[in-house]
Amino acid sequence: MTVNFFCMISKQKFLFFFLFFFFLMPISGKESIILNDSWMFCKTNQPDFYQMEFNDTSWENILLPHTWNALDGQDGGNDYYRGIGCYRKHIVIPLNYKGKVIYLKFGAANSFATVYLNGQLVGSHTGGYSAFMFDITDKILFDQENIIAVQVDNSSSIICPPLSADFTFYGGLTRNVELVVANPVHINPNEYISNDLTMGGIWVAQPGVIIKQTNVSENSADINILTKLRNTTLKTTSVLVEAVLKDSAGKVIKTFSDTKKILANDTSNSIITGKIDHPHLWNGIYDPYLYKVEIMLKVNGEIVDNSLQPLGFRYFNVDPNNGFSLNGKPYPLRGICLHEGKKDKGRAISDADRKEAIDLLRETGCNYLRLAHYQHGDYTYRYLDSLGIICWAEIPNVNSVGRSLEENKIYRKNAVSQMYELLRQQYNHPSIIFWGLSNEIYFKASVDPLETVRQLNKVVKSEDTYRFTTLAAMYPEKPA
């Protein structure tokens, strides 16, 4: 559920209060509260900007999404401002949210973000194109003014992909910011991943539901539904997980279920498997048929969280002689690379802007898009699903992977993090057929990029054995 609110302004300072029209209504799942208006912004480094008593009344009052390079970054030159910008927002969070779990989510912040709440460090994030979030429950002042303060830095970097590219690195909070309010037991939207590939561990924001499909044909399809669970209570809790498959009209086709016990203050996974007979296939632009899967968590018979995810059954192949096929039939791909951006807006665009760009490309006959060269906003993938446009989704592993092995080690960790974010955040979209590992990396550079590419390929294959991995290159072939 998305909540709208308006702002009230006092004579002394800006104070922003939520107005909830459903104030006394029972809450069955997460609520998303968009925080896009009335941010204070300053395009310079202010060392004490995160302190609660800092005076921001002289700063610019702006709306999100926002970039400070909307004008100086659009002329094709390389002389646009790359540095620090500071943001502050004043909010009051109502008392009826006490006892909930509250996350602060950023759609994207390019390239480095450091987040504070009420003068306390919340966390940081590296990478300018993927969503990230923090559990801020223990730092909130309920029924009082709270100060969110964010430092964003798009300075030239030697450790964060991309190091260089022929597109503008627009600095700022370039997508939505929102509060996500959950019940104490909920689908986990923020998971810590620690393995050899992450080199120490990373936090990854995600829907918390991964739907895998295998053995797809006109006759049947197998599905595997992974739901990530979190219990923040002080006792072991039994959870009923229901997965309801609905057709495009909303009619229930099949219901699956699983029961899990989650230890106190712990996480767990639910895995549901099933078979669908005679699935209506997602057939590209000719018939982009979409099912929906609603995941519901129930504790003592009460729905405590739910999630609605797309599902499009399809099978595909690539052959060196016959090209791409979809659902067993030739399906020539005709398309282009698409960047996020619009005149005088840079990458701080709306979903309406995204729709307009895709509609124009569809008019030209595109049935395929490579989303260059980074993760795009969520709406783009949803809209491509609905139109039946095949998608190549990728991370900004562009040109160089570092000047030394020491630099490359940190770079590779950040590239792996962005790949996990892309996979977990966009996995369920049927339009995505290809995961892009890199674009035009320098094979003659001081650091051989192939080990980085191999690591990224391992990440993808550890998460998704169904789709293809690919890359774009303009240099001599090398063995994988």
Provide the annotated active-site residues. Answer: 440
What is the 3-state secondary structure of the chain?
CEECCCCEECCCCEECECCCCCCCCCCCCCEEEECCCCEEEECCCCCCCCCCCCCCCCCEEECCCCCCCCCCCCCCCCCCCCCEEEEEEEEEECHHHCCCEEEEEECCCECEEEEEECCEEEEEEECCCCCEEEECHHHCCECCEEEEEEEEECCCCCCCCCCCCCCCCCCECCCCEEEEEECCEEECCEEEECCCCCCCCEEEECCCEEEEEECCCCCEEEEEEEEEEEECCCCCEEEEEEEEEECCCCCEEEEEEEEEEECCCEEEEEEEEEEEECCCCEEHHHEECCEEEEEEEEECCEEEEEEEEEECCCCEEEECCCEEEECCEECCCCEEEECCCECCCECCCCHHHHHHHHHHHHHCCCCEEEECCCCCCHHHHHHHHHHCCEEEEECCCECCCCCCHHHHHHHHHHHHHHHHHHHHHHCCCCCEEEEEEEECCCCCCCCCCHHHHHHHHHHHHHHCCCCEEEEECCCCCCCC
Residue 5 contacts residue 18 (beta carbons within 8 Å): yes
Three-class DSSP labels, 362-430: HHCCCCEEEECCCCCCHHHHHHHHHHCCEEEEECCCECCCCCCHHHHHHHHHHHHHHHHHHHHHHCCCC
Q: Write out the two tokens for 176.
A: 């939505």
Residue 48: count of CB within 10 angstroms of its CB: 9
Q: What is the Cα–Cα distance from 306 to 304, expressed in whole angstroms?
A: 7
Compute the distance between CA of residue 421 and CA of residue 454 in angstroms, rounded to an integer.
Answer: 17
